[in-house]
Structure 1
């Protein structure tokens, strides 16, 4: 499923979002698909998944980080919560990033041509 990793921007009410792909078990994916257009689906328990997007701005790969995918109201992308580890992406999701870091990420992504390494 495609979802958003949201990172708080320190000193702002804004968040920085990465659009990412997460692999769910067959059972979780079937359940998420079954509820995709169902109002109230956000009450569903989060689904465990594995991050399948490698983000280019981290010194170690982001592939296969453990996640919890939180369904949101119909029409909104799921929220992807990383398990709390010492990986820089997980640390940033927990502690936030500065506006300078947002600019650094934007420059790196623009320079690479897109937001995902394939």
Structure 2
């Protein structure tokens, strides 16, 4: 199953296009806005029941400046963190906002993006990550993004 991805954090998208070059530093894994807001690219996995598969979201997570700097200095190791963060993308998930959901970011090293675990809540996305979803539900979510 293909991961559903976001090219940038929601915060970067909200900046007027004519201002982005001056305010946003963005590559495929890192983003800084106004040298005050910092984001890293990570993966959130939702287990698919009765399957070895996961529904993956390539998302952006906000980070404190010190954690962002630590990640830059230790990009390819799993010996840092985990770090607290907040989800910085609006996922199409049951019509309830996912922006700013609290997370814990676990670093994997070996050239892999960090994994995201949502903090416990009653949000449907947390419940899905905790308990899993059916294959039909995974395809429905995928279709919503691609359709």
Q: What's the TM-score once normalised by structure 2's chain length? A: 0.71
Return the alpha-carbon distance in structure 2 between the equivalents of residues 61 and 96 of structure 1: 19
> CA shift at 1:43, angstroms?
2.6
SS at match of 2:140: helix
Corresponding residue pairs, total? 108
The CA RMSD measured in Å over matched residues stands at 0.9
Q: What do the CA deviations read for 1:44-86 (whole angstroms, capped 9, x no partner)?
A: 2201001101002332100000000100022101001100101
Alignment gaps of 5+ in structure 2: 1-39
User: Following superposition of structure 1 onto structure 2, how do residues 40-79 of structure 1 map, counting pairs within 5 Å?
Assistant: 41-79=77-115
Alignment gaps of 5+ in structure 1: 112-118
Runs of 4+ in 1 over 4 A off after TM superposition: none
Higher-RCO chain (CA-CA 8 Å, sequence separation at least 6): 1
